[in-house]
Every structure is written in structure tokens, then in C-alpha cells.
Structure 1
Amino acid sequence: MYYLGLDIGSSSTKAALVEIDSGKSIGVVQEPKQEMDIYAPKNGWAEQDPNDWWLHSCNAIKQLKKKYNITRAQIKGIGISYQMHGLVVINEAGKPLRKSIIWCDSRAVEIGNQAFKDIGGETCTSNLLNSPANFTASKLKWVKDNEPGIYKKIHKFMLPGDYIAYKLSNTINTTVSGLSEGILWNFKAGAVAQFLLDHYGIDGKLIPDIVKTFGFQSVVDKNGAKESGLSEGTPIYYRAGDQPNNALSLNVFNPGEVAATGGTSGVFYAVTDNLSVTECARVNNFSHVNYEKGKEARIGKLLCINGSGIQYRWLLNNLNVSSYDEMNHLASQVPIGSHGVCVIPFGNGAERMLNNKEIGTRITNINLNNHHRGHLCRAALEGIAFSFVYGMEILKSDGIQAKVVRAGNDNLFRSEIFTNTVATLIDQDIEIYNTTGAIGAARAAGLHKGDFESFGKSIMDNDFVMTYKPNKDKAPYLKAYTKWKQELELILNNS
């Protein structure tokens, strides 16, 4: 028997099956094969059709069943992971009233910033643990202000994962974790953030019913079964945003445990039990998947680095090399510090951890007689690694003391140079696991039983790859990082 995991991204939907008894991954499929389109009717906007997510989810489920010869009756539960911060609005008939305003859309930035000023920084940080910023609540306020005809027709608003669960079950609900990622949860009161709704003039009736992150949420109905290929009555047991889910996939639940992601963008997601916030301008704070009202807090502090893996991909596309392996080989021929070549890798828009400054990518100190492609490759890997180290320093200033760092076996963490550099400079082991968000969501469906110990054991038994330990000789890494940081601060001071 199996659990099904869905990971609803902005690039694609992934579906995974895991054995219930062992937690072993059977397989993962992706739909569509090419990246989904993002509609950008204006500069800085980003929208997707929620029904595209549903179509690709159904196709992925059918493909998964066919590929692994699994019947619908063998799937006994569903877990859902999804792109965070998106806004879906539906009418009473359950139809989307407009395309979803997704996570990377920036139209509501000023709405959130103004709310932070009007409500007061102390009120926001002590209750919301964040600025309203460009999150789901602010996006809904944008619809209210700019599309009043649509706003009047809204029956409920949802996050992307809520919509997929609704399409499966014809039941509308959400989670505390989901509300917190939309900056709609008051941590001090342990309730919906009514003061923010009042400030925005949003009717609280638009918020779906709240269900537990782990537990019986709804079941697949007749229409959901017909379209998805699942059995009617199959329970949905779990739902969470992609970054909390990635942490769950790496068995990160407790204070001091940190999940790291090194894809197109980079992320540190650190769990704490402390509700105090000192870095809300640079770090986001959400209820983690195991947060429960009235119990010891479990908060996920999310630090995002936009200019991360995209920098290395840009080099791949422009250096006349065939693969990341070739780039890593070229980099390995160059010593720590890249003979002075320095890459500041922030070329993917405004960086929240740099107080939303957009400084771009800078490549400095190139000697045209002595430096070659290998220096660029090494300097890029080091520059991205240094940005992670810089991010960890910010998290430490916000009260995080890392006890363990776990990372997926994705593109950046496959590089020994990158991972050794981070491990050495933060003086912390980095454990590598071969897992994905879809696999984590599938396993999490079993946590409705509450057995977190067995959940962690299944990850260690099935996914553990290796551990990178800090190098004993830290001096050359520290020298290179100090030089990089000086270059960064010179740019920041003049921008």
C-alpha cells in the first residue's frame, strides 16, 4: 500500500509514491515535462491559472500509476506541498475568478510596506512575526483596491495547495501554517490576525475553515476521483508550503535544526521555539508544520537568497562548457580564494537579506593574463557559498544557533567545493539526503498517526547520502570570505 505526495510548483507539478510500511520511495514523475508558463501582464507581475496546476496534478497521478503499475485502490492517503504565498480567489460555484497571483509577483510590495508603517512595526513583529510585505494578505488587498468587481464575487480565498485539495475533495479548508505564510496568523493571540484584516477592510468570512496540518482534512469526492484517477474516499492527510515541507522532507522539526536548499535560489530554513524577532526585514517567520496553538512554539525562520544557483546556471550557459560536472572539475583545479577573483552573485532581482537592494552580479579582480574559466567557476561557487554564510550570520543575529544542517542532494550541494566551503565557514556538519518535496509530502501523509520517530528513521534509512564535515584548516576559507565580504559591503555602502 502507498501514500501519494503532490508538490505543486510554479515550474511543474511532481507526484511521488512511497510504501506505507517502509517509507521507501517508489518513484517520482513530473508534469509538464517543460516548465509551466508564468503570465506577466505588467513588469513585476507573475500569474498562473490554478486549473493548470490541477490538470498537471491529474496527469502526474495517472502517469505515476501507469509507470509503476499501481491501482487507485492501493493509494491510501495524500499529502500536498505547494508554492507558497500565492493567492487563489473563487466564487460560490468554486470557479477561480482570476489567475492566481503567485509567490514571485511584486505588485503588493507597497501595500504591505504601508501597512507595516500604519499598524506599527512593534505590533506587526510581536503579533505577525513579520511585515505584511508582499504576501497573500497584501495581494488580496490589491485585488480589493484594483479589481473591486472581482473582489465582490469572492466566496473564499485560498493558497495554491488549498485549491488542489479543494479540487480533489470539493471541501474548502486551510491550515494555520498556510495562514501564517500569508501573514494572516496572530501568534500572540493564537488566532486569525483580525487586526490586519480590519486594516485592509477584508471580511474574515473569506478565510476557509482551519484544519490541522497533520490529520484528516478531507476525502476525494466523486468528481475528484473521476478527474484524478484516485479512489473516491481517499483521505487527504497533510498540506504545507514548499519550504516548510522541504524541511519536513529532511527531518527538520526541532529548535536548532536547519534545512538548506541550493536550487535556482538558495534557502536556509531554521526551526526555533522563540517568538522574538529582530530581523523581520531580512528574515521571514512562519509557523512550522509541527506548530500547534497552545503548545511550545515551532517557528520556521526562512532566509532566501535569490542570486544563488541561477548564477551558476548562467555560467553554464555562457562559458562554453557542457555540464555542471565539467564546471566543478575546472573549479577544482583552482585553489581556495580563486587567486583573488571574486563573484558577488546577486543578479536575480532585489535581495531581501540585503534589505531589498538590487545590486546585481559583480565579477571583480580578474587579471586577463592569468585568470581563466576555472577561476570563474571556483569564484562563482565560492561567492554563492559565501552568500549562504552571510545569511547564516543574519540568522544567528536573529537568535538561531544551528545544531545540524541538512540539505537535499540538489545541484549546488552536489558540489564538494560549495558544500565544504559552507560547512567550514559556519563550522557545522552538513548532512546530505536524496529526497524531494513530493517524497516528503507522501511520507507526511503517514504523520496523521503522530509517529515522528518512525518518520525520521525512514528518512535516515532510505535517503541519507553522506556528511560533509568542516575542514580543519579554516584560515584560507576565512581569508577568502573576508575579502568577499569587504567587496559586498563596499557595494552596499555605495548603492
Structure 2
Amino acid sequence: MYLLGIDIGTSSIKVAVVDATTQKNIARVQYPEEETPIKSPMPGWAEQSPMDWWHNTQQAILKINAFGLFNPKDIKAIGISYQMHGLVTVGKNQEVLRDSIIWCDSRSVNLGNRAFDSIGHERCLSALLNSPGNFTASKLAWVKENEPYVYDKIDKIMLPGDFIAMKLTGEITTSISALSEGIFWDFQKNKISEDVMNHFGFDKKVIPEIKPLFSIHGQLKDEVAGILGLTAGIPIAYKAGDQPNNALSLNVLRPGEVAATAGTSGVIYGVSDRLTYDKLSRVNTFAHVNYSVDHPRTGVLLCINGTGSMYRWAKHTFAPYLNYNELNHIASQAPLGSEALKALPFGNGAERMLNNVYTGAQFIGIDLNVHQQSHIFRAVQESIAFAFRYGLDIMCENEVQPKIIKAGWANLFLSDLFAQTFVDVTNVPVELYENDGSVGAALGAGIGAGIFSNPEEAFNGQTIKKYIEPKNTKAYEPIYQDWKEILEFNLKQSKNN
């Protein structure tokens, strides 16, 4: 008996098939091989086509089936992980009305700020646990204000994973966790926020049916099953945003546990048993996958937009002919500190941890007689680790004090140099696991379908692949403080401009 996990990422679709008995990954693929581009019709905008996600999802499933390592007819449930905070709009016939405004889009920041002021800062933070910012509700407000011809046709809004589930099943559902990440959920009243809906003038009919996150969100349609070689009627039994799902995949479910990821964006995600919030909304709190009214489990999320995207840019700009393993090897040739070359990895939209100030990505201190390729690639990896440290210090202000951080052995954590630098700069050990979002989604489907009795059972076979302890913390501390001074100077300049 197998479980299928689908991870709707920004750069590609990842699919995994997991043996439900052993909890081991049988096969894993991504499609396409090259990163999917982000459309940017205007500076600060970021969009992708939902139909491209659907095409790539189908191709990824067909690709993994073609390996011949399992019988696709033996897949018993499907789980979905997805890039958070995106807005997908469909009409009455489930037709897509416009490209998705995705997570790193900054166009709705001012609308979110206005809502924050109008509803009231204390009211927003205590009930929503966040400022509306540029989350999904504010993105919908932008469509309402700027594209009324689209807004008037909307039957339902959804997040990227909801859309893929709709294409698989024909049904549209949501969950408390999903609504909380869109800033539609009132944690005090335990219902859709009247404050948000009334402020923006939204009709509640656009919100899909609310179901438990671990539950049946629809059954695979006959025609889709025929195309994909799967069994008609199997359930989509789990849907979660990529960061709650990443935490699930690392068995980060209990208060005090912390997960990290360094993909297109960089995230630290800590589980709490309190309805906590950051007064400046630099980090955000959402309902975790195991949230319930009686036993609240929230995820305190720090997101850095420009991590893997900065490294990808460096690769395509300075060494497009190399793969990432070769890039990491070159980076390791430069000395610790990159001989004073520093970078700011913030060129992928407004950063919430920087109070939505956009500094842009920068290199600082280039010496034309000293710095080479290796310095550039190491400086980028170091700057990303510095950004994580800056954010982790903010999380510590909000009572997230990790003793160990768990991460998947994927993306930037595949680089020994980056993993060690991350540990040295944050001074927190890291446990690496050979899991990713698609594997987590597959196991989540097993929980939702009742194949596992609880989340703990789904991960009782998990083992640590690598444990990394701090080695160079003292050497990195003054270099980090110099970087922090540069960042804060740039923040002041950006605010003044």
C-alpha cells in the first residue's frame, strides 16, 4: 500500500511515493527540471499560472509512475503541500480567472496596512495574530479594487494546494490552517473574521467549505485517474501550506520544537501552544497542522523571501553552466568571511521581518583585485545564514528559543558549507533528515485517510541523517555584526527614500 505526496513549489512540482507500511520513500521526482519562472508584470509583483501547476503536477505523476518501482493502482491516498499565501480565483465553472498572485508579491502591502489601521492594531494582532500585510486577503482586496471585472466573476478563492485538489476531485475545500495563513481566521471567535470580511467588503460565499486539515477533501475523478494511471475514488486526505507541512515532515508537532527550510525562500518555524504574535508583525503566527480549539498548536513563522532565489540568481548570472554541487564546491574554496565581501539577499519582494521595507539585493565591498567566483558564491551563502540569524533573533524576542533546529537534507542544506555556516552563525545545532515536502504530504495523507492513527505513528521510523554542531561561532560573530550594521543602514536609507 502506497501514499502519494504532491508539493506545489514555486520553482517546481515535487512528487513522492511512500510505502505506508515502512514509511520509507520509494521514489521521488520533480518537474520541470529547471526552475519555473515567476512572472513580474510590474516591479514587486509576482505571479504564476495555476494551469501550469496543474500541467506540471500531471507530468510529475506520470514521470514517477514510469520508474516502474511500484504499481500506481496500489496508491491509496493523496496529500498536497503548497506554496503559502497565494491567491487563486475561479468562476462558477471552476475556470481560472487570472494568474495566481503568489506569496512574494508586494503589491497589496498598502491595502493590508490600511486594514491594519482601520480594524485596529491590537484587534488584528490579538484576533488574527498578524497584520493583514500582503497575505491572501489583501491580495483579494487588490483584485477587487484594481480588477473589478475579475472580482465580479469570482465564485471561490483558494490557495495553490486547494486548486490542485480541485483539479483532482472537482471539489473545493479549505481548513482553519489555510484560512489563518490567508488572514481570514479570527482565533478569538473561532470563525471567519468578520473584521476582515467587512473591512474589505468580501462576500463570505467566496470562502470554500471548511474541513479538518487531516480529512477527506474529495475523491479522485474517473477521468483524471484514467489519465494518471491511478485508482478512481482514492481520497485527497491532507492539504497544508509548505511550512506547516515541512514541520510535519520533520515530526515538529510539539510546543518548543523548531523546523527550518532553505528553498526558494528561507523559513524558521517554531511550534507554540499559545496564541502569540509579534507586535511589529515581523514574524507571523498561523494554525499548525495539528491545531484545534481545545489544544491550540500554532506555528510561529519567520520567512525570508530572498534565500534560494538569491543563490539561483548568482548561479544563473555568474555560472549558468554549473550545477549546484559544483557551485557549492567553488564556494568552499573561499575563506571564512569571503575576504570582507558581503551581500544582502533581499531582492525578492518586501521582507516582513524588515517591516516590509525593500532594500533590494546587493553586494558590498567588492575588491576587483581580490574577489573571484568563489568569494561571490560563499558571500551569498553566508549572507543567507546571516539573514536567518537576524530573523532568529526576532523569534527569540517572541519566546521561540530553539535548542535544536530540524531541517530536511534538501535545497541549500545539501551544501555542507551552508549547513555549517547556518549552525555557526545561529549557534544552534541542526539535525538533518532525508525527508522533503512531498514525502511529508504523502505521510500526511496517510494520517488523514486513517492509515496511521496519529501523526506520531506516521514518523516513528524517522532517523537522523546528519547532526551538525557549531564550530566557528566566535569567528563569525564579528562578521555577522558588521553585516547587521550594513543591513540596518540600508533599512534607514530605504525608509528615508
Counterpart of 2:461?
A: 458
- Within 5 Å, give how 1:381-400 maps onto structure 2: 381-400=381-400
Counterpart of 1:337?
A: 337
1:412 aligns with 2:433: no
Q: TM-score, normalised by structure 2?
A: 0.91
- Within 5 Å, give how 1:245-324 maps onto structure 2: 245-295=245-295, 297-319=296-318, 322-324=322-324
1:120 aligns with 2:123: no
Q: CA deviation at 1:389?
A: 0.9
Counterpart of 1:63?
A: 63
- Change in 2 beyond 3 A, CA 1:166/1:370: closer
Counterpart of 1:490?
A: 489
Counterpart of 1:148?
A: 148
Q: Deviations over 1:305-342 (max 9, x none)?
A: 22323333444345558454455445444443334333
- Change in 2 beyond 3 A, CA 1:54/1:494: closer
Name the SS of the counterpart of 2:282 in structure 1. Answer: coil
Name the SS of the counterpart of 2:439 in structure 1. Answer: helix
Q: CA deviation at 1:266?
A: 1.5
- Within 5 Å, give how 1:186-205 maps onto structure 2: 186-205=186-205
Q: CA deviation at 1:178?
A: 0.8
Q: Which amino acid aligns with 1:187?
A: F
Q: Provide the C-alpha distance between the structure 2 equivalents of 1:421 and 1:39, rounded to a whole number of angstroms.
A: 32
- Change in 2 beyond 3 A, CA 1:193/1:314: same
Q: CA deviation at 1:368?
A: 4.6
Q: Provide the C-alpha distance between the structure 2 equivalents of 1:97 and 1:21, rounded to a whole number of angstroms.
A: 42
Q: Provide the C-alpha distance between the structure 2 equivalents of 1:335 and 1:39, rounded to a whole number of angstroms.
A: 36
Q: Which amino acid aligns with 1:478?
A: E
Structure 2 contact 431–466 (Cα < 8 Å) conserved: yes
Counterpart of 1:481?
A: 480
Name the SS of the counterpart of 1:218 in structure 2. Answer: coil
Q: Provide the C-alpha distance between the structure 1 equivalents of 2:307 and 2:97, rounded to a whole number of angstroms.
A: 35
Q: CA deviation at 1:396?
A: 0.6
Structure 1 contact 341–376 (Cα < 8 Å) conserved: yes
Q: TM-score, normalised by structure 1?
A: 0.91
- Change in 2 beyond 3 A, CA 1:224/1:322: closer
Q: Provide the C-alpha distance between the structure 2 equivalents of 1:32 and 1:379, rounded to a whole number of angstroms.
A: 29
Q: CA deviation at 1:268?
A: 1.2
1:2 aligns with 2:5: no
Q: Provide the C-alpha distance between the structure 1 equivalents of 2:397 and 2:146, rounded to a whole number of angstroms.
A: 39
Q: Which amino acid aligns with 2:423?
A: A
Structure 1 contact 173–211 (Cα < 8 Å) conserved: yes
Structure 1 contact 86–101 (Cα < 8 Å) conserved: yes
Structure 1 contact 279–398 (Cα < 8 Å) conserved: no
Q: CA deviation at 1:18?
A: 0.4
- Change in 2 beyond 3 A, CA 1:382/1:63: closer
Structure 1 contact 423–430 (Cα < 8 Å) conserved: yes
Q: Deviations over 1:369-416 (max 9, x none)?
A: 455444444333322211111110011112211132011222422333
Counterpart of 2:213?
A: 213
Structure 1 contact 190–294 (Cα < 8 Å) conserved: no
Q: Provide the C-alpha distance between the structure 2 equivalents of 1:84 and 1:364, rounded to a whole number of angstroms.
A: 32
- Change in 2 beyond 3 A, CA 1:70/1:490: same
Q: Provide the C-alpha distance between the structure 2 equivalents of 1:347 and 1:97, rounded to a whole number of angstroms.
A: 29
% identical aligned pairs: 48
Q: Deviations over 1:170-214 (max 9, x none)?
A: 222111111111111111111111221111111112211111111
Deviates more, 1:473-482 or 1:388-397: 473-482
List runs of 5+ in structure 1 lacking aligned partners: none
- Within 5 Å, give how 1:12-23 maps onto structure 2: 12-23=12-23
Q: CA deviation at 1:285?
A: 1.6
Q: Deviations over 1:284-311 (max 9, x none)?
A: 221111111232x211122122232333
Q: CA deviation at 1:144?
A: 2.4
Q: Provide the C-alpha distance between the structure 2 equivalents of 1:367 and 1:41, rounded to a whole number of angstroms.
A: 35
- Change in 2 beyond 3 A, CA 1:392/1:66: same
Q: Which amino acid aligns with 2:306?
A: G
Deviates more, 1:369-378 or 1:397-406: 369-378
Deviates more, 1:300-309 or 1:73-82: 300-309
Q: Provide the C-alpha distance between the structure 1 equivalents of 2:37 and 2:422, rounded to a whole number of angstroms.
A: 34
- Change in 2 beyond 3 A, CA 1:159/1:367: closer
Q: Report how many aligned residue pairs link the two structures.
A: 490
Q: Provide the C-alpha distance between the structure 1 equivalents of 2:362 and 2:45, rounded to a whole number of angstroms.
A: 26
Q: Deviations over 1:113-157 (max 9, x none)?
A: 111111111111000011112121122222223333433332222
Deviates more, 1:66-75 or 1:425-434: 66-75
Structure 1 contact 256–404 (Cα < 8 Å) conserved: no
Q: Which amino acid aligns with 1:453?
A: E
Q: CA deviation at 1:235?
A: 1.3
Counterpart of 1:137?
A: 137
- Change in 2 beyond 3 A, CA 1:376/1:34: closer
Q: Provide the C-alpha distance between the structure 1 equivalents of 2:375 and 2:58, rounded to a whole number of angstroms.
A: 46
Structure 1 contact 48–101 (Cα < 8 Å) conserved: yes
Q: Provide the C-alpha distance between the structure 1 equivalents of 2:219 and 2:24, rounded to a whole number of angstroms.
A: 24
Q: Deviations over 1:463-485 (max 9, x none)?
A: x32010122x6321222222222
- Change in 2 beyond 3 A, CA 1:200/1:24: same
Q: Provide the C-alpha distance between the structure 2 equivalents of 1:37 and 1:366, rounded to a whole number of angstroms.
A: 29
Q: CA deviation at 1:27?
A: 0.9
